[in-house]
Copies of this chain bind each other. A is one copy, B any other.
Amino acid sequence: MSTPVSPLAPKSFPDMPVVPGVAISTAEAGIKYKGRTDVVVMTFAEGTEVAGVFTRSRCASAPVDLCRQNLPHGRARVLVVNSGNANAFTGKKGSAATQMTVEAAASAADCAPSDVFLASTGVIGEPLAADRFTGLLQGMVRTAAPDRWRDAGKAIMTTDTYPKYSTRTVSLGGTEVVISGIAKGAGMIAPDMATMLSFVATDAPIGAGALQSMLSRAVGSTFNAITVDSDTSTSDTLLLFATGAAGTRGAPRITDPADGRLHGFHVALHEVMHDLALQVVRDGEGARKLVEVRITGAESDASARRIALSVANSPLVKTAVAGEDANWGRVVMAIGKAGEPADRDSIAIWFGDIRVASEGERDPEYSEQQTSAYMKNNEIVIHADVGVGSGRATIWTCDLTKEYVAINGDYRS
């Protein structure tokens, strides 16, 4: 399948600096794709701590089971990721495949099985032939090098039309540390989870508990605030590794999530995660427009979030955006169907800066022509105030086009 690159793709990719303590290797195992890399190994310095967030699917994949099992140890030495097969709904064969991979990876990286993390993405329900890559792991670990983030981003792609990178440098107690991450995802993207696959690493010496606290807080307004198609994957995995290598340059080791010195780091981590999450939406299958849905005036932030998701997941709102139709009546419908408190006769709606509705009816100043012109933009902001309180939330999504139907009707992804 050769899909053209999304028109919403970033204009350029960032330079991805080395993260001290992380080395990367990729390989072609031929799991499903031909003529491209489909396996990534990341190795981590001794003492690396780890945090993670996973899908809330009741049918989580075998690698998600494995990560959940190893996460409480809080330590990581090696990550193995494959694309082309999700190893999900594969029963005993699935856990046998993860077990075989863990053993090969632990042996290659000379670490305990509990230091191994796995992720798989691709088709659901087909047994994963892990032996296609377990034999490669020894060599991959041996030849891993720090400057291969670009390669890693490409090897984890499935229906993505571009690789997704983000990086920030931030001061931690006076020492510069780096945070770098990659992500993949284009379809089967919905919040209430981490999303698809994303791996972020830092050389900051931060303890696993503090990492987990920051990751769990940041996920709500980043990966958990996007939706392409309301469909939640079996494989969503977000892992954050902290090698601690900056400690040798003077960065303080921090284990208390409330430590004030983490503030800048937390902000930078949020930026990286937000950047990657938005790149996932921008690569939404068939997407031509990025849509930001802002709800204010709700009873609570949680209620605002449910209303925002109702709007962002509405096929009728998404097809109207695809058709560049300023059909704000469908926004009313989607607010109404959310079932959350909303005062119909106080609702106001804006498309960009244009107020299209106020006090429960069409705005007296409404101009179809002006609003239609706004809908031609690549990035659309839909804001609704539901008039009952001060709760607010923002969700990012994309439009629903014929290409989404073509991609998912024609391709066993």
Residues of A within 8 A of B (CB): 55-60, 86, 88-94, 123-127, 187-188, 190, 229-234, 313-316, 319-320, 322-323, 325, 327-330, 332-342, 344-345, 347, 357, 359-362, 400-402, 404-406, 408-412
Contact = CB atoms under 8 A, between A and B. Distances in A.
Report how many copies the assembly holds.
Answer: 2
B408 A316 contact: yes
Contacts of A325: 409-410, 412
Contact of A91 (B59, B323, B336, B361): B361
Contacts of A332: 59, 88-89, 124-125, 234
Contact of A316 (B127, B229, B336): B229
A230 B315 contact: yes
Nearest to A314: B231
Dominant SS among interface residues on chain A:
loop
A315 B404 contact: yes
A408 B319 contact: yes
A91 B360 contact: yes
A127 B57 CA distance: 44
A347 B58 CA distance: 11
Nearest to A407: B319
A59 B335 contact: yes
B315 A347 contact: no
Contacts of A322: 405, 409
Contact of A323 (B188, B231, B232, B410): B410
B56 A234 contact: no
A333 B58 CA distance: 9
B126 A344 contact: no
Contact of A124 (B125, B234, B329): B329
24 contacts: A56-B339, A58-B335, A58-B336, A58-B339, A59-B333, A89-B332, A89-B347, A89-B361, A90-B361, A91-B359, A127-B362, A187-B316, A229-B315, A230-B313, A230-B314, A231-B314, A231-B315, A231-B333, A234-B333, A315-B404, A316-B408, A322-B409, A401-B409, A402-B402
Nearest to A122: B329
Given A231-B314, A316-B229, A405-B319, A89 B125 contact: no
Contact of A361 (B125, B323, B362, B406): B125
Given A231-B334, A337-B231, A316 B59 contact: no
A65 to B, nearest CB: 9
Nearest to A402: B402
Contacts of A402: 402, 405-406
Contacts of A323: 408-411
Contacts of A319: 404-405, 408-409
A34 to B, nearest CB: 20
Contacts of A57: 333, 336-337
A408 B126 CA distance: 35
A187 B412 CA distance: 27
Of A190, A319, A362, chain B has the most CB atoms within 10 Å of the CB of: A319
Given A94-B361, A405-B400, A188 B89 contact: no
B408 A58 contact: no
B58 A409 contact: no
Given A91-B360, A362-B127, A404-B319, A327 B412 contact: yes
Given A88-B332, A319-B408, 17 more contacts: A55-B336, A58-B342, A59-B344, A89-B357, A92-B361, A124-B330, A124-B333, A125-B362, A188-B333, A229-B315, A231-B316, A234-B333, A322-B405, A325-B412, A401-B405, A402-B402, A405-B405
